[in-house]
């Protein structure tokens, strides 16, 4: 951490700046900023990442939230965007060119996967997708034109891990840039930069914001790499609104308190589910039954607020279970104060049979839960009554 302050202290004081005269920072709701002289204007216009020139280029409210995010991820600097996909697309588009090759995982956030498999292909960038649990597969997929390795750990929906030290180590030897989507773990539980990864991306919509009220993204890396990504992002234009940057800042203040509780709730719920007769299997890196539990203990400080499980029975019985849940909210997204769940297969129920789902690796009875801040006894009671 830059100033060697503790994580929780950075969340409160990491954004301090010289001209502070209020305890809570103002929202700089201005699209553009004044110069008081011709020289000053020329300087503002030509400075990379000037934070008081034009809001698409930077904004003082962005700067404050970005300072904290850089500190808690252990990076030199951070860039904010208007969504997680804005962060991921700006990063990837800045780092690859026509004729380049990317190694990524078979398991990624859907938007990341589609960006690599469909959109980038149209611009002459090919990707190879490998099993994230197999370090050898990353090695084997590398070609002479591989420029980037994209990883995501834990990944949706089965909380599968990538060995960050091993992948980063190997990529470094080959001069390949590594990017890690750290959304599911959050910086409270995992810091990929400290394990050798070059760039971290976040959907700040999730744990960093933490209240289901903003859509935002963040990119953390060295000054040099972030400047390069900034030149791309000012062209693409995923600018975070100053109001949402302020809400992100507000959310960040309590990040460690929230995630600690979410870690605890997730572990308790995972253990409860594992002991229940109607549950076939639970996926949570904090459980000893997780096939990568040893790796989780090595690269994570906590195991996160998201888990998933497979019920015994059919799609229909799982849909009925979902219907009986009273307090848990049926909604996509994760990492916020409310406990949310999704019955993944329900998204395809209108277009696929149970057999087709199984063939497409969409488990018909899989439920994903993102634990919120409710009292865990109430969460377990709701799940228990729904299990019947
Ligand atoms: C939600 C999510 C994204 C996309 O973020 P948005 O803020 O919705 O654009 C990317 N990666 C992961 C792992 C996510 O959960």
Please state at what angle helix 376-387 crosses helix 315-324, rounded to 10 degrees: 140
Give me the pLDDT at residue 4, please.
65
User: Which residues form the pocket of ligand 1, taking CB atoms under 6 Å from any ligand atom?
Assistant: 83-85, 109, 111, 152, 181, 183-184, 203, 205-206, 215, 217
The label of the residue with tokens 């994230």 reads 132
- Phi, psi of 346, rounded to the nearest 5 degrees: -60, -25
CA max distance for the chain: 74
In ligand 1, which atom is closest to the CA atom of 216?
A: 7
Q: Could you report the per-residue pLDDT of 237-262, keeping only the tens digit for each?
A: 999 999 999 999 999 999 999 999 99
- Asked whether 221 and 229 are in contact (CB, 8 A), the reply is yes
* Coil, helix or strand at residue 211: coil
Q: Which of 290, 287, 266, 281 has its CA nearest to residue 133?
A: 290
Q: Could you report the per-residue pLDDT of 265-305, keeping only the tens digit for each?
A: 999 999 999 999 999 999 999 999 999 999 999 999 999 99
Report the residue among 91, 107, 109 best suited for mutation to probe ligand 1: largest number of ligand atoms under 8 A from its CB.
109
In ligand 1, which atom is closest to the CA atom of 85?
A: 9
Residues labelled as active-site residues: 56, 109, 181, 206
Give me the pLDDT at residue 3, please.
55
- Asked whether 304 and 263 are in contact (CB, 8 A), the reply is yes
- Asked whether 140 and 132 are in contact (CB, 8 A), the reply is no
> Which residues in the chain show pLDDT less than 70?
1-4, 18-19
Q: Which of 187, 157, 271 has its CA nearest to residue 14?
A: 187
Could you tell me the distance, in angstroms and rounded to a whole number, from the CA of residue 64 to the centre of ligand 1? 22
In ligand 1, which atom is closest to the CA atom of 335?
A: 15
Could you tell me the distance, in angstroms and rounded to a whole number, from the CA of residue 386 to the centre of ligand 1? 29
DSSP 8-state class, residue 356: H
d(CA 342, CA 278): 18
Give me the pLDDT at residue 1, please.
42
Total Cβ atoms within 10 A of residue 134: 12
Q: Enter the tokens of residue 354.
A: 């149970």
Could you tell me the distance, in angstroms and rounded to a whole number, from the CA of residue 320 to the centre of ligand 1? 28
**Residue located nearest, by CA, to atom 11 of ligand 1:** 109
**Residue located nearest, by CA, to atom 4 of ligand 1:** 84
Bin 75: left if φ > 0, else alpha if -120 < ψ < 50, else beta: beta
- Asked whether 199 and 178 are in contact (CB, 8 A), the reply is yes
Give me the pLDDT at residue 2, please.
47
- Phi, psi of 77, rounded to the nearest 5 degrees: -155, 165
Q: Enter the tokens of residue 385.
A: 């009554």
d(CA 224, CA 213): 32
Give me the pLDDT at residue 260, please.
98
């Amino acid at each position: 951490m830059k100033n060697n302050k503790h994580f929780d202290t950075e969340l409160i004081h990491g954004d301090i700046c010289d001209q502070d005269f209020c305890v809570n920072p103002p929202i700089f709701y201005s699209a553009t900023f004044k110069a008081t002289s011709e020289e000053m204007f020329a300087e503002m216009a030509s400075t990379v990442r000037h934070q008081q020139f034009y809001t698409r280029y930077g904004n003082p409210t962005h700067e404050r939230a970005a300072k904290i995010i850089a500190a808690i991820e252990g990076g030199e600097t951070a860039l904010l965007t208007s969504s997680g996909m804005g962060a991921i697309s700006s990063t990837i588009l800045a780092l690859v060119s026509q004729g380049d090759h990317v190694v990524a995982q078979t398991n990624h956030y859907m938007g990341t996967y589609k960006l690599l498999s469909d959109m980038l292909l149209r611009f002459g960038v090919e990707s190879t997708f490998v099993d994230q649990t197999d370090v050898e597969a990353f090695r084997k997929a590398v070609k002479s034109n591989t420029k980037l390795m994209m990883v995501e750990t834990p990944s949706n929906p089965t909380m599968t891990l990538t060995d960050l030290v091993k992948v980063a180590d190997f990529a470094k030897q080959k001069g390949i840039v590594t990017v890690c989507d750290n959304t599911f773990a959050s910086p409270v539980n995992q810091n990929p930069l400290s394990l050798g990864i070059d760039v971290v991306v976040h959907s700040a919509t999730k744990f960093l914001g933490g209240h289901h009220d903003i859509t935002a993204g963040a990119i953390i890396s060295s000054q040099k790499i972030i400047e390069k990504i900034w030149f791309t992002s000012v062209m693409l234009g995923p600018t975070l609104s100053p109001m949402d940057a302020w809400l992100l800042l507000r959310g960040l203040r309590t990040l460690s308190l929230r995630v600690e509780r979410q870690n605890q709730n997730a572990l308790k719920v995972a253990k409860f589910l594992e002991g229940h007769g109607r549950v076939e299997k639970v996926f949570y890196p904090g459980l000893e039954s997780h096939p990568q539990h040893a790796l989780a203990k090595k690269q994570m400080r906590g195991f996160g607020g998201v888990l998933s499980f497979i019920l015994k029975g059919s799609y229909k019985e799982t849909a009925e279970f979902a219907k009986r849940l009273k307090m848990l909210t049926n909604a996509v997204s994760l990492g916020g104060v409310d406990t949310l769940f999704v019955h993944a297969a329900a998204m395809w129920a209108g277009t696929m049979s149970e057999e087709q789902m199984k063939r497409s690796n969409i488990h018909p009875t899989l439920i994903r839960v993102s634990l919120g801040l409710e009292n865990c006894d109430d969460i377990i009671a709701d799940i228990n009554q729904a299990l019947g």
